[in-house]
Amino acid sequence: MKIPMACADLSNEDIAAVVDVLHSGQLSLGPKAIEFEQQIADYVGVKHAVAVSSGTSALHLLVRALGLGPGDEVLVPSFTFASSVNVLLYEGATPVFVDIIPDTYTLDPVDLERKVTPRTKAIMAVDVFGHPAEWDEILGIADRHALRVIDDSCEALGAEYKGRKLGQFGDAAAFAFYPNKQMTTGEGGIIVTDDDEIAVLCRSMRNQGRDEMGAWLEHVRLGYNYRMDEMSAALGVSQFKRLETFLQKRERVAQMYTERLQGLEGVHPPLVKPYVRMSWFVYVVTLAEGLARDPVMALMAEQGVPTRGYFAPIHTQRHIYERFGDLSGMLPMTESVAQRTIALPFSAIMTETQVTYVCEVLKACLAKVILG
Ligand SMILES: *Cc1c(COP(=O)(O)O)cnc(C)c1O
Protein backbone atom coordinates (compact mmCIF):
# COMPACT_ATOMS: atom_id res chain seq x y z
CA MET A 1 0.00 0.00 0.00
CA LYS A 2 1.39 3.42 -0.97
CA ILE A 3 0.04 6.28 1.12
CA PRO A 4 0.78 9.95 0.34
CA MET A 5 1.75 12.31 3.17
CA ALA A 6 -0.96 14.76 2.08
CA CYS A 7 -3.30 15.05 -0.88
CA ALA A 8 -5.64 17.81 -2.06
CA ASP A 9 -9.30 16.92 -2.65
CA LEU A 10 -9.94 18.14 -6.20
CA SER A 11 -13.24 17.70 -8.07
CA ASN A 12 -14.11 17.94 -11.75
CA GLU A 13 -15.89 21.17 -10.85
CA ASP A 14 -12.63 22.61 -9.44
CA ILE A 15 -10.84 21.72 -12.65
CA ALA A 16 -13.59 23.21 -14.81
CA ALA A 17 -13.46 26.45 -12.79
CA VAL A 18 -9.77 26.89 -13.58
CA VAL A 19 -10.27 26.01 -17.27
CA ASP A 20 -13.08 28.60 -17.46
CA VAL A 21 -10.65 31.31 -16.36
CA LEU A 22 -8.20 30.25 -19.05
CA HIS A 23 -10.98 30.51 -21.65
CA SER A 24 -12.01 33.94 -20.31
CA GLY A 25 -8.61 35.44 -21.09
CA GLN A 26 -8.52 37.40 -17.81
CA LEU A 27 -5.73 35.70 -15.92
CA SER A 28 -4.97 38.34 -13.28
CA LEU A 29 -6.66 41.29 -11.55
CA GLY A 30 -10.13 39.98 -12.38
CA PRO A 31 -13.43 39.08 -10.75
CA LYS A 32 -12.39 35.71 -9.24
CA ALA A 33 -9.98 37.16 -6.66
CA ILE A 34 -12.67 39.65 -5.60
CA GLU A 35 -15.26 36.87 -5.27
CA PHE A 36 -12.84 34.72 -3.28
CA GLU A 37 -12.05 37.61 -0.92
CA GLN A 38 -15.74 38.21 -0.28
CA GLN A 39 -16.34 34.51 0.48
CA ILE A 40 -13.50 34.34 2.99
CA ALA A 41 -14.34 37.67 4.67
CA ASP A 42 -17.97 36.55 5.13
CA TYR A 43 -16.95 33.11 6.36
CA VAL A 44 -14.46 34.41 8.92
CA GLY A 45 -16.74 37.28 9.93
CA VAL A 46 -14.43 40.23 9.24
CA LYS A 47 -14.67 43.39 7.10
CA HIS A 48 -11.71 42.81 4.79
CA ALA A 49 -9.96 39.96 3.02
CA VAL A 50 -6.95 40.53 0.74
CA ALA A 51 -5.95 37.58 -1.44
CA VAL A 52 -2.22 37.16 -2.08
CA SER A 53 0.27 34.77 -3.64
CA SER A 54 1.10 32.71 -0.52
CA GLY A 55 0.66 32.49 3.22
CA THR A 56 4.19 33.82 3.57
CA SER A 57 3.43 36.92 1.50
CA ALA A 58 0.28 37.48 3.59
CA LEU A 59 2.37 37.45 6.78
CA HIS A 60 5.08 39.63 5.22
CA LEU A 61 2.55 42.30 4.24
CA LEU A 62 1.17 42.27 7.78
CA VAL A 63 4.62 42.81 9.26
CA ARG A 64 5.04 45.77 6.89
CA ALA A 65 1.53 47.11 7.51
CA LEU A 66 2.21 47.16 11.27
CA GLY A 67 5.50 48.97 10.63
CA LEU A 68 7.67 46.39 12.36
CA GLY A 69 11.37 46.81 11.61
CA PRO A 70 14.88 47.23 13.00
CA GLY A 71 14.98 47.56 16.78
CA ASP A 72 11.53 46.06 17.22
CA GLU A 73 11.20 42.79 19.10
CA VAL A 74 8.42 40.44 18.08
CA LEU A 75 7.41 37.52 20.29
CA VAL A 76 7.02 34.36 18.22
CA PRO A 77 7.08 30.61 18.84
CA SER A 78 10.07 28.60 17.66
CA PHE A 79 7.75 25.59 17.26
CA THR A 80 6.29 26.77 13.93
CA PHE A 81 6.86 26.79 10.19
CA ALA A 82 9.77 28.89 8.89
CA SER A 83 7.52 31.65 7.48
CA SER A 84 6.34 32.96 10.86
CA VAL A 85 9.92 33.99 11.63
CA ASN A 86 11.28 34.69 8.13
CA VAL A 87 8.80 37.50 7.54
CA LEU A 88 10.21 39.28 10.62
CA LEU A 89 13.76 38.87 9.30
CA TYR A 90 12.75 40.29 5.88
CA GLU A 91 12.02 43.57 7.69
CA GLY A 92 14.93 43.49 10.13
CA ALA A 93 12.69 42.99 13.18
CA THR A 94 14.07 40.79 15.96
CA PRO A 95 12.31 37.49 16.68
CA VAL A 96 12.18 36.68 20.38
CA PHE A 97 11.36 33.00 20.76
CA VAL A 98 8.68 31.95 23.21
CA ASP A 99 8.14 28.43 24.54
CA ILE A 100 4.97 26.37 24.08
CA ILE A 101 2.50 24.65 26.37
CA PRO A 102 2.86 20.88 26.45
CA ASP A 103 -0.73 19.92 25.63
CA THR A 104 -1.50 21.78 22.38
CA TYR A 105 1.97 23.12 21.43
CA THR A 106 0.72 26.69 21.12
CA LEU A 107 2.37 29.76 22.74
CA ASP A 108 2.88 29.53 26.50
CA PRO A 109 1.23 32.70 27.91
CA VAL A 110 3.48 32.67 31.00
CA ASP A 111 6.68 32.58 28.96
CA LEU A 112 5.16 35.12 26.54
CA GLU A 113 4.64 37.76 29.21
CA ARG A 114 8.02 36.98 30.80
CA LYS A 115 9.74 37.85 27.51
CA VAL A 116 8.16 41.29 27.05
CA THR A 117 10.78 44.08 27.14
CA PRO A 118 10.55 47.84 26.46
CA ARG A 119 11.48 47.03 22.83
CA THR A 120 8.66 44.51 22.31
CA LYS A 121 6.23 45.77 19.65
CA ALA A 122 4.16 42.79 18.62
CA ILE A 123 3.18 39.15 19.05
CA MET A 124 3.11 36.68 16.15
CA ALA A 125 0.87 33.92 17.48
CA VAL A 126 0.47 30.62 15.61
CA ASP A 127 -2.53 28.28 15.64
CA VAL A 128 -0.31 25.22 15.47
CA PHE A 129 -1.59 22.20 13.51
CA GLY A 130 -5.04 23.86 13.36
CA HIS A 131 -5.48 24.18 17.14
CA PRO A 132 -6.25 27.76 18.26
CA ALA A 133 -3.67 29.52 20.42
CA GLU A 134 -4.75 30.63 23.93
CA TRP A 135 -6.36 33.82 22.63
CA ASP A 136 -7.83 35.24 25.85
CA GLU A 137 -4.43 35.16 27.53
CA ILE A 138 -2.52 36.40 24.46
CA LEU A 139 -4.86 39.36 23.88
CA GLY A 140 -4.76 40.18 27.62
CA ILE A 141 -0.96 40.37 27.50
CA ALA A 142 -1.10 42.45 24.29
CA ASP A 143 -3.48 44.88 26.03
CA ARG A 144 -1.38 45.19 29.16
CA HIS A 145 1.77 45.99 27.18
CA ALA A 146 0.23 47.80 24.18
CA LEU A 147 1.44 45.23 21.64
CA ARG A 148 0.15 44.62 18.11
CA VAL A 149 -0.93 41.07 17.32
CA ILE A 150 -0.64 39.05 14.09
CA ASP A 151 -2.36 35.67 13.95
CA ASP A 152 -0.46 33.20 11.78
CA SER A 153 -3.51 31.06 11.19
CA CYS A 154 -2.07 29.48 8.04
CA GLU A 155 -2.78 26.02 9.48
CA ALA A 156 -6.18 26.76 10.95
CA LEU A 157 -8.81 28.01 8.48
CA GLY A 158 -12.21 27.18 9.97
CA ALA A 159 -11.01 26.68 13.55
CA GLU A 160 -12.94 28.36 16.37
CA TYR A 161 -11.96 29.64 19.80
CA LYS A 162 -14.78 29.87 22.34
CA GLY A 163 -17.34 30.00 19.53
CA ARG A 164 -15.57 32.62 17.40
CA LYS A 165 -13.82 31.86 14.12
CA LEU A 166 -10.08 32.35 13.95
CA GLY A 167 -9.26 35.35 11.81
CA GLN A 168 -11.15 37.62 14.21
CA PHE A 169 -8.36 37.67 16.80
CA GLY A 170 -5.57 40.23 16.96
CA ASP A 171 -5.03 43.08 14.48
CA ALA A 172 -5.11 40.76 11.47
CA ALA A 173 -4.64 37.13 10.50
CA ALA A 174 -3.21 35.16 7.59
CA PHE A 175 -4.48 31.90 6.04
CA ALA A 176 -2.67 29.79 3.45
CA PHE A 177 -3.77 27.57 0.57
CA TYR A 178 -0.76 25.40 -0.33
CA PRO A 179 -1.99 21.94 -1.47
CA ASN A 180 -1.56 20.30 1.96
CA LYS A 181 -3.77 22.88 3.72
CA GLN A 182 -7.46 22.40 4.51
CA MET A 183 -8.36 23.84 1.08
CA THR A 184 -6.05 24.83 -1.75
CA THR A 185 -5.47 27.37 -4.51
CA GLY A 186 -2.17 25.73 -5.54
CA GLU A 187 -0.05 28.50 -4.07
CA GLY A 188 -1.97 31.23 -2.30
CA GLY A 189 -2.80 33.03 0.90
CA ILE A 190 -5.18 35.62 2.30
CA ILE A 191 -5.12 38.40 4.88
CA VAL A 192 -8.23 39.01 6.99
CA THR A 193 -8.81 42.04 9.22
CA ASP A 194 -11.37 44.48 10.54
CA ASP A 195 -8.79 47.27 10.38
CA ASP A 196 -9.42 49.56 7.37
CA GLU A 197 -5.88 50.93 7.34
CA ILE A 198 -4.21 47.50 7.37
CA ALA A 199 -6.47 46.40 4.50
CA VAL A 200 -5.67 49.46 2.38
CA LEU A 201 -1.93 49.09 2.97
CA CYS A 202 -1.93 45.38 2.16
CA ARG A 203 -3.97 45.88 -1.03
CA SER A 204 -1.50 48.51 -2.15
CA MET A 205 1.66 46.60 -1.23
CA ARG A 206 0.57 43.36 -2.89
CA ASN A 207 0.19 45.39 -6.12
CA GLN A 208 3.59 47.14 -6.35
CA GLY A 209 2.58 49.93 -3.97
CA ARG A 210 -0.13 51.31 -6.22
CA ASP A 211 -3.05 53.10 -4.61
CA GLU A 212 -6.45 51.63 -5.41
CA MET A 213 -7.50 54.76 -7.33
CA GLY A 214 -4.07 55.69 -8.73
CA ALA A 215 -2.67 55.30 -12.25
CA TRP A 216 -0.96 52.03 -13.28
CA LEU A 217 2.55 53.49 -13.17
CA GLU A 218 2.05 55.53 -10.04
CA HIS A 219 3.63 53.88 -6.99
CA VAL A 220 3.00 55.66 -3.71
CA ARG A 221 4.88 53.22 -1.50
CA LEU A 222 7.27 50.29 -1.71
CA GLY A 223 5.34 47.24 -2.82
CA TYR A 224 5.64 43.76 -4.24
CA ASN A 225 3.97 41.54 -6.75
CA TYR A 226 2.11 39.41 -4.24
CA ARG A 227 -1.14 39.22 -6.24
CA MET A 228 -3.19 36.03 -6.42
CA ASP A 229 -3.78 35.11 -10.08
CA GLU A 230 -7.28 34.34 -11.38
CA MET A 231 -6.72 30.58 -11.89
CA SER A 232 -5.77 30.24 -8.24
CA ALA A 233 -8.67 32.42 -7.11
CA ALA A 234 -11.15 30.41 -9.21
CA LEU A 235 -9.85 27.21 -7.62
CA GLY A 236 -10.29 28.89 -4.23
CA VAL A 237 -13.88 29.92 -4.99
CA SER A 238 -14.69 26.39 -6.09
CA GLN A 239 -12.88 24.65 -3.21
CA PHE A 240 -14.45 26.99 -0.68
CA LYS A 241 -17.89 25.59 -1.48
CA ARG A 242 -16.74 22.28 0.01
CA LEU A 243 -14.68 23.70 2.89
CA GLU A 244 -17.15 22.54 5.58
CA THR A 245 -17.15 19.04 4.02
CA PHE A 246 -13.34 19.00 3.97
CA LEU A 247 -13.21 20.01 7.63
CA GLN A 248 -15.69 17.29 8.58
CA LYS A 249 -13.86 14.64 6.56
CA ARG A 250 -10.54 15.64 8.14
CA GLU A 251 -12.13 15.53 11.58
CA ARG A 252 -13.36 12.00 10.83
CA VAL A 253 -9.91 10.83 9.70
CA ALA A 254 -8.44 12.33 12.89
CA GLN A 255 -11.05 10.46 14.95
CA MET A 256 -10.22 7.20 13.20
CA TYR A 257 -6.56 7.72 14.07
CA THR A 258 -7.27 8.58 17.69
CA GLU A 259 -9.58 5.57 18.16
CA ARG A 260 -6.80 3.28 16.93
CA LEU A 261 -3.97 4.90 18.86
CA GLN A 262 -5.74 5.62 22.16
CA GLY A 263 -4.09 3.63 24.92
CA LEU A 264 -1.18 2.45 22.79
CA GLU A 265 1.96 2.44 24.93
CA GLY A 266 4.54 5.06 24.05
CA VAL A 267 2.25 7.23 21.88
CA HIS A 268 0.10 10.24 22.76
CA PRO A 269 -2.58 11.24 20.23
CA PRO A 270 -3.15 15.01 19.86
CA LEU A 271 -5.16 16.84 22.52
CA VAL A 272 -7.99 19.24 21.72
CA LYS A 273 -9.17 21.79 24.30
CA PRO A 274 -12.90 21.59 25.08
CA TYR A 275 -13.52 25.26 24.19
CA VAL A 276 -12.17 25.10 20.62
CA ARG A 277 -13.12 23.73 17.26
CA MET A 278 -9.97 22.22 15.86
CA SER A 279 -9.47 22.56 12.10
CA TRP A 280 -7.32 19.51 11.44
CA PHE A 281 -4.26 20.46 9.35
CA VAL A 282 -2.03 17.50 10.19
CA TYR A 283 -2.32 14.58 12.59
CA VAL A 284 0.66 14.69 14.91
CA VAL A 285 1.37 12.11 17.60
CA THR A 286 3.94 12.54 20.36
CA LEU A 287 6.15 9.67 21.47
CA ALA A 288 6.75 9.13 25.17
CA GLU A 289 9.81 10.78 26.65
CA GLY A 290 12.99 8.81 25.97
CA LEU A 291 11.69 7.20 22.79
CA ALA A 292 13.75 8.00 19.70
CA ARG A 293 11.66 9.37 16.87
CA ASP A 294 14.01 9.02 13.92
CA PRO A 295 14.33 5.21 14.00
CA VAL A 296 10.53 4.92 14.17
CA MET A 297 10.17 7.23 11.17
CA ALA A 298 12.85 5.35 9.21
CA LEU A 299 11.19 1.97 9.90
CA MET A 300 7.80 3.35 8.86
CA ALA A 301 9.25 4.68 5.59
CA GLU A 302 10.54 1.16 4.83
CA GLN A 303 6.92 -0.03 5.06
CA GLY A 304 5.80 2.67 2.60
CA VAL A 305 4.41 5.03 5.23
CA PRO A 306 5.79 8.57 4.90
CA THR A 307 5.95 10.76 8.02
CA ARG A 308 7.31 14.20 8.92
CA GLY A 309 9.07 15.39 12.04
CA TYR A 310 6.85 18.45 12.60
CA PHE A 311 8.35 20.84 13.61
CA ALA A 312 12.12 21.27 13.56
CA PRO A 313 12.28 24.31 15.88
CA ILE A 314 13.27 27.55 14.18
CA HIS A 315 15.94 28.44 16.75
CA THR A 316 17.81 25.24 15.80
CA GLN A 317 17.93 26.15 12.08
CA ARG A 318 21.39 27.04 10.81
CA HIS A 319 20.69 30.56 9.55
CA ILE A 320 19.03 31.43 12.85
CA TYR A 321 21.75 30.21 15.22
CA GLU A 322 24.45 31.67 13.01
CA ARG A 323 22.75 35.03 13.44
CA PHE A 324 21.33 34.94 16.97
CA GLY A 325 23.71 32.49 18.61
CA ASP A 326 23.11 29.15 20.25
CA LEU A 327 19.74 29.31 22.01
CA SER A 328 19.62 25.63 22.91
CA GLY A 329 18.26 24.98 26.37
CA MET A 330 16.28 28.26 26.40
CA LEU A 331 13.03 26.68 25.18
CA PRO A 332 12.83 23.40 27.09
CA MET A 333 9.28 22.42 26.15
CA THR A 334 9.81 23.20 22.46
CA GLU A 335 12.99 21.14 22.38
CA SER A 336 11.51 18.22 24.27
CA VAL A 337 8.36 18.07 22.14
CA ALA A 338 10.15 18.62 18.83
CA GLN A 339 12.25 15.49 19.30
CA ARG A 340 9.16 13.35 19.82
CA THR A 341 6.48 14.55 17.39
CA ILE A 342 5.60 12.63 14.24
CA ALA A 343 3.09 13.82 11.64
CA LEU A 344 1.31 10.83 10.11
CA PRO A 345 -0.12 10.79 6.57
CA PHE A 346 -3.26 12.91 6.61
CA SER A 347 -5.85 14.27 4.18
CA ALA A 348 -9.60 14.56 3.73
CA ILE A 349 -9.59 11.65 1.28
CA MET A 350 -7.77 9.10 3.42
CA THR A 351 -9.67 5.85 3.73
CA GLU A 352 -10.30 3.80 6.85
CA THR A 353 -8.11 1.03 5.38
CA GLN A 354 -5.23 3.47 4.96
CA VAL A 355 -5.58 4.82 8.51
CA THR A 356 -5.67 1.28 9.89
CA TYR A 357 -2.57 0.36 7.91
CA VAL A 358 -0.63 3.42 9.12
CA CYS A 359 -1.56 2.61 12.74
CA GLU A 360 -0.53 -1.04 12.37
CA VAL A 361 2.81 0.00 10.88
CA LEU A 362 3.34 2.58 13.65
CA LYS A 363 2.59 -0.04 16.32
CA ALA A 364 4.97 -2.57 14.79
CA CYS A 365 7.78 -0.03 14.33
CA LEU A 366 7.37 1.29 17.86
CA ALA A 367 7.51 -2.23 19.26
CA LYS A 368 10.77 -2.83 17.37
CA VAL A 369 12.31 0.39 18.71
CA ILE A 370 11.14 -0.25 22.28
CA LEU A 371 12.56 -3.78 22.25
CA GLY A 372 15.77 -2.45 20.67
C1 LIG B 1 1.70 26.93 5.54
C2 LIG B 1 2.16 27.90 6.57
C3 LIG B 1 2.49 29.23 6.23
C4 LIG B 1 2.45 29.78 4.84
O5 LIG B 1 3.02 28.98 3.90
P6 LIG B 1 3.03 29.26 2.33
O7 LIG B 1 3.71 28.04 1.82
O8 LIG B 1 3.83 30.50 2.11
O9 LIG B 1 1.64 29.43 1.83
C10 LIG B 1 2.83 30.09 7.26
N11 LIG B 1 2.86 29.70 8.54
C12 LIG B 1 2.55 28.43 8.91
C13 LIG B 1 2.56 28.07 10.36
C14 LIG B 1 2.21 27.49 7.93
O15 LIG B 1 1.94 26.23 8.29
User: What are the pocket residues of ligand 1 if the criterion is a CB atom closer than 6 Å to any ligand atom?
Assistant: 54-56, 80-81, 83-84, 126, 152, 154-155, 176, 178, 189
What pLDDT is stored for residue 213 in this prediction? Answer: 87
What pLDDT is stored for residue 292 in this prediction? Answer: 84
What pLDDT is stored for residue 197 in this prediction? Answer: 98
CA 104 and chain centroid, separation? 14
Residue 244 CA, ligand 1 centroid: distance in Å? 21
Closest ligand 1 atom number to CA of residue 181: 1
Helices (H), 66-161: 82-90, 109-114, 135-145
CA-to-CA dists, residue 119 to 3, 60, 68, 88, 152, angstroms: 48, 20, 11, 15, 21
Burial of 93 (0-12, 13-18, 19+ CB in 10 A): buried
**Contact at 8 Å (CB) between 40 and 233?**
no
Query: 20 — phi, psi (to 5°)?
Result: -55, -40
State the angle between helix axes of 243-261 and 230-240 in degrees (0 to 180), rounded to the nearest 10.
Answer: 60
Residue 217 CA, ligand 1 centroid: distance in Å? 31
- Eight-state DSSP code of residue 100: B
Task: Tell me which amino acid residue 13 is.
Answer: E
Counting every residue written for the chain, the total comes to 372
Nearest to 172 by CA among 34, 93, 66: 66
What pLDDT is stored for residue 165 in this prediction? Answer: 98
Mutation to probe ligand 1, out of 85, 152, 185, 310 (largest number of atoms < 8 A from CB): 152
Task: Give the Cα separation of 351 and 368 in Å (integer).
Answer: 26
> What tens-digit pLDDT sequence spans the chain (372 residues)?
789 999 999 999 999 999 999 999 999 999 999 999 999 999 999 999 999 999 999 999 999 999 999 999 999 999 999 999 999 999 999 999 999 999 999 999 999 999 999 999 999 999 999 999 999 999 999 999 999 999 999 999 999 999 999 999 999 999 999 999 999 999 999 999 999 999 999 999 999 999 988 899 999 999 999 999 999 999 999 999 999 999 999 999 999 999 999 999 999 999 999 999 999 999 999 999 989 899 999 999 999 999 999 999 999 999 999 999 999 999 999 999 999 999 999 999 999 999 999 999 999 999 999 887
- For residue 103, count other CB atoms closer than 10 A to its CB: 12
Closest ligand 1 atom number to CA of residue 281: 15
Query: 11 — phi, psi (to 5°)?
Result: -105, 170
Query: To which H or E segment does residue 343 belong?
Result: strand 341-344
Handedness of CA 342, 347, 352, 354 (dihedral sign): negative
- Eight-state DSSP code of residue 147: -
Closest ligand 1 atom number to CA of residue 189: 9
DSSP string, 213-263: TS-TT---S---B-BPPHHHHHHHHHHHTTHHHHHHHHHHHHHHHHHHHTT
| 211 SS3 class | coil
Residues 6 or more apart whose Cβ sits within 8 Å of residue 302: none
Task: Give the Cα separation of 17 and 39 in Å (integer).
Answer: 16
CA-to-CA dists, residue 329 to 84, 291, 318, 334, 335, angstroms: 21, 19, 16, 9, 8
**Helices H, strands E: what count in the chain?**
13, 13
Residue 63 CA, ligand 1 centroid: distance in Å? 15
Pairing of strands 172-176, 189-193: antiparallel
